[in-house]
Amino acid sequence: GSYIGSRHGQHALKGTIDEVRIYSRALSATEVRASYDRGSQTMSQQRDVTVEPEEVGEKPPVFRKPTREVAMVQDGFLWIDAEDFTDYGGWLLDTQFVHLMGSAYLIAAGIGKPVADATVTVSIPRAGTYRLWVRAKNWLKDYSPGQFTVAINDKASEQVFGAGDSEDWIWEPAGDFALDAGDTKISLRDLTGYYGRCDALILTTDQEYTPPRDMDAVRAERARLTGISLEPQLVGDFDVIVVGAGSAGSPAAIAAARMGAKTALIQNRPVLGGNASSELGVGVNGAASAHPNARESGIIEELGRIKARFGYVKMSEPFRVAAEQEPNLSVFVNQHVFAVQMADAAHIAAVRAVDTLTNTVSVYNGKMFIDCTGDGWVGYYAGAEYRIGREPEAEFNESLAPEERDTITMSGCLMGGRSVSYRAVDTGAPAPYTPPAWAPKFPPDEEFGRSPRGFSGGEWWLEHPGDIDDIWQAEKSRDELLRISFGYWDFIKNTWSKRDQAATYALSEVPIVEAKRESRRLIGDYILNQNDCQSGRVFPDAVAHGGWPLDVHHPEGIYSGKEGPFDCNAHVPIYTIPYRCVYSKNIENLLFAGRDMSVSHIALGSVRVQGTLAAVGQAAGTAAGFALRENITPRGIYQGRMSEFQQLLLKHDQYIPGLQNEDPADLARAATVTTSSTAEFEEFGRDHVARDIIHPLNMPRAVMFPRGERAHLGTVYLPLVSANDGPVKTTLHLREAAKSQDFSSKQDLLTVTATVAPGERWVPFPINRDIEAPFVWVWLPETENVSWPLMSRAPAGSCRAYGGGETGNWTVRQAEYYAFYTEPGIASRSRYSAESVINGVTRIIGDEPNMWASDQAETFPQWIELDFGKRVDVNAVYLLFDTDMNAKYHTAPMVPECVRDYEVSCFDGANWVTVAQVKGNFQRRRAHKFDTLSASKLRLTILATNGADSAHVFEIRAYNE
pLDDT 10s digits, 77-128: 999 999 999 999 999 999 999 999 999 999 999 999 999 999 999 999 999 9
Residue 43 pLDDT > 50: no
Cis, peptide link before residue 861, omega less than 30° from 0: yes
Give the alpha-carbon dihedral of 708, 712, 713, 714, to 10 degrees: -140
pLDDT 10s digits, 139-159: 999 999 999 999 999 999 999
What pLDDT was estimated at residue 829?
A: 77
C-beta of residue 930 within 8 angstroms of C-beta of residue 845: no
- Using CA atoms, how far apart are residues 645 and 202, in angstroms rounded to an integer? 57
Q: What's the pLDDT band for 16 if we cut at 50, 70, 90?
A: very low
Note the Cα 888 to chain centre separation in Å.
13
Residue 51 pLDDT > 50: no
* Buried/exposed 878-905: b ≥16 CB within 10 Å, e otherwise: bbbbbbbbbbbbbebebbbbbbbbbbbb
- Using CA atoms, how far apart are residues 907 and 312, in angstroms rounded to an integer? 41
Residue 215 pLDDT > 80: yes
Q: What is the arithmetic mean of pLDDT over 307-334?
A: 96
Q: What is the arithmetic mean of pLDDT over 819-836?
A: 91
- Using CA atoms, how far apart are residues 634 and 93, in angstroms rounded to an integer? 39
Q: What's the pLDDT band for 555 if we cut at 50, 70, 90?
A: very high
Residue 274 pLDDT > 60: yes
Residue 318 pLDDT > 80: yes
Q: What's the pLDDT band for 796 if we cut at 50, 70, 90?
A: confident
What pLDDT was estimated at residue 774?
A: 95
Q: 3-class DSSP state for residue 151?
A: strand
Nearest to 617 by CA among 344, 323, 386: 323
Q: What is the arithmetic mean of pLDDT over 747-755?
A: 96
Residue 863 pLDDT > 80: yes
- Using CA atoms, how far apart are residues 191 and 170, in angstroms rounded to an integer? 19
> Average model confidence (pLDDT) for the chain?
92
Q: What is the arithmetic mean of pLDDT over 592-604?
A: 98
Q: What is the arithmetic mean of pLDDT over 735-753?
A: 95
Q: What is the arithmetic mean of pLDDT over 415-439?
A: 93
Residue 64 pLDDT > 70: no
Q: What is the arithmetic mean of pLDDT over 578-595?
A: 98
Give the alpha-carbon dihedral of 122, 126, 127, 133, to 10 degrees: -50
Q: What's the pLDDT band for 417 if we cut at 50, 70, 90?
A: confident
Residue 10 pLDDT > 80: no
What pLDDT was estimated at residue 35?
A: 46
Note the Cα 308 to chain centre separation in Å.
13
- Using CA atoms, how far apart are residues 774 and 739, in angstroms rounded to an integer? 7
Q: 3-class DSSP state for residue 583?
A: strand
What pLDDT was estimated at residue 65?
A: 52
Q: What's the pLDDT band for 11 if we cut at 50, 70, 90?
A: very low
What pLDDT was estimated at residue 552?
A: 98
C-alpha distances in angstroms, 138 versus 119, 147, 471, 629, 928? 21, 8, 20, 53, 59
What pLDDT was estimated at residue 680?
A: 85
Cis, peptide link before residue 781, omega less than 30° from 0: no
Report the Cα–Cα distance between both ends of the chain, in Å, rounded. Answer: 39
Which of 30-34, 57-61, 692-696 reaches the highest mean pLDDT? 692-696
Q: What is the arithmetic mean of pLDDT over 821-841?
A: 92
Q: What's the pLDDT band for 643 if we cut at 50, 70, 90?
A: very high
What pLDDT was estimated at residue 896?
A: 94
Element holding 131 (H helix, E strand): strand 128-137
Q: What is the arithmetic mean of pLDDT over 863-867?
A: 98
Supply the pTM of this predicted model: 0.88
What pLDDT was estimated at residue 245?
A: 97
158: how many CB neighbours lie within 10 A of its CB?
Answer: 8
Q: What's the pLDDT band for 683 if we cut at 50, 70, 90?
A: confident
pLDDT 10s digits, 889-899: 898 899 999 99
Q: Say which residue, 954 or 102, is predicted with more confidence.
A: 954
Q: Say which residue, 793 or 698, is predicted with more confidence.
A: 698
Residue 793 pLDDT > 90: no
What pLDDT was estimated at residue 67?
A: 55
- Using CA atoms, how far apart are residues 416 and 281, in angstroms rounded to an integer? 7
How many Cα atoms occupy the beta-carbon half-sphere of 831 within 13 Å?
10
pLDDT 10s digits, 498-535: 999 999 999 999 999 999 999 999 999 999 999 999 99
C-alpha distances in angstroms, 486 versus 423, 431, 476, 498? 11, 15, 16, 18
What pLDDT was estimated at residue 20?
A: 55
Q: What's the pLDDT band for 281 if we cut at 50, 70, 90?
A: confident
Nearest to 687 by CA among 853, 896, 884, 854: 896
Q: What is the arithmetic mean of pLDDT over 40-50?
A: 38
Q: Say which residue, 344 or 48, is predicted with more confidence.
A: 344
What pLDDT was estimated at residue 14?
A: 37
- Strands of 615-771 (E only): list them: 672-675, 681-684, 691-696, 701-706, 712-722, 728-737, 750-756, 759-770
Q: What's the pLDDT band for 455 if we cut at 50, 70, 90?
A: confident
Residue 919 pLDDT > 90: yes
C-beta of residue 753 within 8 angstroms of C-beta of residue 655: no
